[in-house]
A and B are shown apart, each in its own frame.
Chain A
Amino acid sequence: MENQKFYYDNKIVKLFILATLVWGVVGILVGILAAAQLAFPVFNFGLEYTTFGRVRPLHTNAIIFAFVGNAIFAGVYYSMQKLLKTRMFSDTLSKIHFWGWQTIIVLAAVTLLAGITTSKEYAELEWPIDIMITIIWVIFGWNMIGTLIVRRVQHIYAAIWWYLATFLGVAILHVVNSFELPISLFKSYSIYAGAQDAVVQWWYGHNAVAFFLTTPFLGLMYYYLPKAANRPIYSYKLSIIHFWSLIFLYMWAGPHHLLYQALPEWAQALGVTFSIMLIAPSWGGMINGLLTLRGAWDKVRDSAALKFLVVGVTAYGMSTFEGPMMSLKTVNQITHFTDWTIAHVHIAGMGWNGGLVFGMLYWLVPKLFKSKLFSEKLANIHFWMSTLAILLYAIPLYWAAVTQWLMWQEYTPEGFLAYPNFLETLTQIVPMYMVRVVAGFLFLGGFLIMVFNLAKTMKAGSFINNEASEAPALVLAGKRNPVTETVHRWMERKAVRFSILTFVALAIGGAVEIIPMIFIKSNVPTLESVTPYTPLELEGRDIYVAEGCYVCHSQMVRPFRWETDRYGEYSKIGEFVYDYPFQWGSRRTGPDLARAGVIGGPMYKNAAWHYNHFMDPQKMNEESIMPNYAWLAVKNVDVTMTPKKIRAMQTLGVPYEEGYDQKAVADLMAQAQTISDDLKASGIELAPEKQMIALIAYLHKLGRDIMSENAAVTEEHGETAEQQQAHEITLLDTPEDLEAGKKLYQANCVVCHGPEGKGIPPAFPSLVDDEWIKGNKPADVYHSIAEGNVAKGMIPYKNMLSEKQITQLASYVLITLHEQNQEK
Chain B
Amino acid sequence: MSEEKIKHTEQDDHITDHDYDGIKELDNPPPRWIMLLFYITIGWAIIYGAYYFWLKEGDHQDAEYARKSEKHDQKYQIASLSADDLVAFTDEASLAEGKQIYTDMACMACHGLNGEGNAIGPNLTDKFWIHGCDIQSVFNVIKNGVPAKGMTAFKGQISDEKIQKVASYILSMKDSNPANAKDPQGVECNN
Contacts and interface: CB of A to CB of B under 8 A. Distances in A.
Pair from one complex: yes
Interface of A: 79, 82-83, 85, 153, 155, 157, 159, 222-223, 226-227, 232-239, 241, 245, 260, 265-266, 269, 272-274, 276-277, 279-281, 283-284, 287, 291, 295, 411, 414-417, 420, 559-561, 564-566, 570, 599-602, 604-606, 608-609, 747, 795-796, 798-803, 805
Contact of B83 (A237, A245, A280, A802): A802
Contacts of B136: 799-801
Interface of B: 1, 5-6, 9-10, 14-15, 18, 20-31, 34-35, 37-38, 41-42, 44-45, 48-49, 52-53, 60-62, 64-65, 68-69, 72, 75-78, 80-81, 83-84, 86, 132, 136-137, 139-140, 143-145, 147-150, 153, 156-159
A284 B5 CA distance: 25
Contacts of A800: 83, 136-137, 139-140
B147 A280 contact: no
A232 B156 contact: no
B96 to A, nearest CB: 19
Contacts of B158: 416
A237 B65 contact: no
A561 B78 CA distance: 14
B48 A269 contact: yes
The 5 closest A-B pairs by CB, nearest first: A415-B76, A280-B38, A273-B45, A559-B65, A232-B24
A454 B18 CA distance: 33
Contacts of B65: 559-561, 564, 570
Given A232-B10, A414-B76, A801 B83 contact: yes
A611 B150 CA distance: 13
A201 to B, nearest CB: 21
A295 B45 CA distance: 37
23 contacts: A234-B26, A238-B34, A265-B52, A269-B52, A276-B41, A276-B44, A277-B45, A280-B35, A295-B1, A295-B6, A416-B158, A417-B157, A559-B62, A561-B68, A564-B65, A565-B156, A599-B148, A604-B147, A606-B150, A796-B144, A799-B80, A799-B136, A800-B140
A799 B49 CA distance: 46
A227 B23 contact: yes
A365 B62 CA distance: 57
B36 to A, nearest CB: 9
A233 B25 contact: yes
B21 A82 contact: yes
Contacts of B150: 606, 608-609
Given A234-B26, A277-B42, A83 B20 contact: yes
Contacts of B35: 241, 280
A283 B36 CA distance: 12
Given A276-B45, A415-B159, 9 more contacts: A226-B24, A236-B27, A237-B27, A266-B53, A276-B48, A280-B38, A561-B68, A606-B147, A799-B143
B28 A237 contact: yes
A337 B139 CA distance: 36
B148 A606 contact: yes
A736 B80 CA distance: 30
A157 B34 contact: no
A570 B63 CA distance: 13
A417 B31 CA distance: 50
Given A279-B37, A415-B77, A799 B52 contact: no
A236 B76 contact: no
B41 to A, nearest CB: 5
A600 B38 contact: no
A798 B160 CA distance: 14
B23 A233 contact: yes
Contacts of B41: 276-277, 279-280
A157 B23 contact: yes
Contacts of A274: 45
B57 to A, nearest CB: 13
Contacts of A281: 38
A155 to B, nearest CB: 8
Residue among A274, A417, A602 with the highest chain B CB neighbour number at 10 A? A602
Nearest to A238: B30
Contacts of A799: 80-81, 83, 86, 136, 139-140, 143-144
Contacts of A795: 140, 144
Nearest to A233: B25
Given A561-B72, A602-B153, A234 B28 contact: yes
Contacts of B6: 295
A260 B15 CA distance: 49
A245 B42 CA distance: 12
Contacts of B81: 799
Contacts of A559: 61-62, 64-65
A818 B157 CA distance: 41
Contacts of B52: 265, 269
A600 B145 contact: yes
A420 B148 contact: no
A561 B72 CA distance: 8
Contact of B153 (A159, A561, A600, A609): A600
A260 B65 CA distance: 10
A605 B149 CA distance: 9
B9 to A, nearest CB: 7
A452 B42 CA distance: 48
A287 B34 contact: yes
